[in-house]
Amino acid sequence: MKIMVLGADGFCGWPTSLKLAKEGHDIIMIDNLSRRKIDRELESNSLTNIHSIYSRLKVAQDLGYSMYFINCDITNYKEISSYMLQHVPDVVVHFAEQRAAPYSMNSEKERRYTVDNNIIGTHNVLNAIVDHSPNTHLVHLGTMGVYGYSKEFGAIPEGYLNVKINSTQKDTDILYPTNPGSVYHMTKSIDQLLFQFYNKNWGIKITDLHQGIVWGTQTEETEIDEQLTNRFDYDGMYGTVLNRFISQAATGNEITVYGTGGQRRAFIHIQDTAKCVQLAAENPPDSDKVRIFNQVAEVHSVKDLALMMEKLYQAKVKFLDNPRKELAENQLEVDNTGLKSLGFEPIKLSNRLVDDVLYIAQQMKDNMKKENILTSPRW
Ligand code: NAD
Ligand code: USQ
């Protein structure tokens, strides 16, 4: 298939592009390299040494992969629509959004940037598909954060909640009520409404993958050559909790638990991100309803992860005032039967896998800027 990957230079986009290319698909990679620019703006960095998109691409092409890169900002409608018209892809995989909750809550500049970038970008992609490639299947990376993280309505279903209407006593499926915890998560909630409308009105085929927190850094595909190395965020803005804890343990820093650590979240390994996107892309839905899958492997509390670091690596755990407005404790159960029915066999957290990531973090420990560990804004 011809697959256009938006956000193909990012943490999830790069290994997924490689995986899809290895599986024999033709990959048109699109990115405006804004994530690398934000690293410079924050004076932060990936813990791993990442090569330029052009060096990455050259190595991948030498391996025989059909990959091609376009530097394009998807908020520029003229550009993204002209590439859609030129390529008419079978599938568009959309990773190209500002994805850090803390960054999106930093100040009005980042709040507005996140909304402008994410909403305009997603809306442009939908319009480019309607106008130039109406049979394209859009696979979007959403987030578990659109649901909030509670068992208020029972186990979290895949996008739609079955309810009984009091006045009619009839059962119906409604889009799960959104409960975002940051401006970033709010943009993903708005994306959902855009998808419902574009599907209803134009019958666009859409899969929204509500992904949990991704951990790990390398995949089978990025390990092939040093120049294909994937990024590893550890800082207070972009680093996600488990990778932060692993990198903190690897560098002799304290494990930074926010609040009590009673927050339960869903997790998935980066190799599985690539696998799940492949499964969704190769198995398109009907166009009569937006298909929503929960892209998660397992649920853990933040505290349990910290205690695991303490036990495995004798790391010191530090409980800090929580900079975020979130539930101090929550219960969470998530339905992930959709992707499993397509063949997804989740990789679960194991000592061996954590050891692999820890080894990389130890190798790269000189790259860690300690002053960037606690940079989250408070909200
Ligand atoms: P990332 O920041 O590493 O990658 C995003 C990429 O998109 C970057 O390379 C960036 O330059 C590009 N981009 C952003 N705006 C763009 C624009 N307007 N035009 C073109 N390119 C643009 O983030 P990631 O961790 O790879 O996340 C990818 C997607 O997966 C995001 O949409 C995110 O919400 C979702 N997701 C990520 C996680 C996670 O834990 N990393 C979990 C759940 C969902
Ligand atoms: N946390 C700590 N200590 C830290 C960092 C985080 O205790 O040093 C806690 C946070 O308070 C929070 C939890 O860990 O309760 C998760 O935080 P996170 O930064 O790992 O995850 P989050 O902000 O939710 O965002 C990440 C990705 C985002 C994606 C989301 C999936 O950055 O793109 O959408 O995970 S999910 O969380 O399932 O909604």
- 174 domain-assigned: yes
- Tell me how far apart the terminal alpha carbons of the chain are, to the nearest angstrom: 44
pLDDT band at residue 174 using 50, 70 and 90 as cut-offs = very high
- 127 domain-assigned: yes
- 361 domain-assigned: no
Supply angle C-alpha 98, 305, 149, rounded to 5: 55
pLDDT band at residue 303 using 50, 70 and 90 as cut-offs = very high
Residue-level pLDDT at 287: 86
Taking only the tens place, the pLDDT of each residue in 128-148 is: 999 999 999 999 999 999 999
Identify the domain containing residue 169 by its residue range.
2-231+269-297+331-347
Residue-level pLDDT at 351: 86
Is any atom of ligand 2 closer than 6 Å to the C-beta of 87?
A: no
Kindly give the pairing relationship between strand 264-269 and strand 298-301.
Answer: antiparallel
- 302 domain-assigned: no
Q: How many domains does the chain have?
A: 1
- 129 domain-assigned: yes
CB 266 within 8 A of CB 296: yes
DSSP code, position 264: E
Distance CA 97, CA 142 (A): 10
Q: What is the CATH number of the domain that holds 101?
A: 3.40.50.720
Pocket residues: Cβ below 6 A from ligand 1: 7, 9-13, 31-35, 73-75, 95-97, 99, 117, 121, 141, 143, 211, 213-214, 240
The helix/strand/coil state of 138 is: strand
- 101 domain-assigned: yes
Neighbours of 276 (CB within 10 A): 27
Taking only the tens place, the pLDDT of each residue in 69-83 is: 999 999 999 999 999
Taking only the tens place, the pLDDT of each residue in 240-264 is: 999 999 999 999 999 999 999 999 9
Neighbours of 141 (CB within 10 A): 27
- 358 domain-assigned: no
- 355 domain-assigned: no
Please determine, for residue 352, whether its predicted confidence score (pLDDT) is greater than 90: no
Told to judge if 207 belongs to the known catalytic residues of this protein, a careful annotator would answer no
Told to judge if 198 belongs to the known catalytic residues of this protein, a careful annotator would answer no
Of the chain, the percentage scoring pLDDT greater than 90 comes to 98
Taking only the tens place, the pLDDT of each residue in 86-117 is: 999 999 999 999 999 999 999 999 999 999 99
Provide mean pLDDT across the span 267-273. 98
Q: Which of 103, 176, 184, 238 is catalytic?
A: 184
Please determine, for residue 369, whether its predicted confidence score (pLDDT) is greater than 90: yes
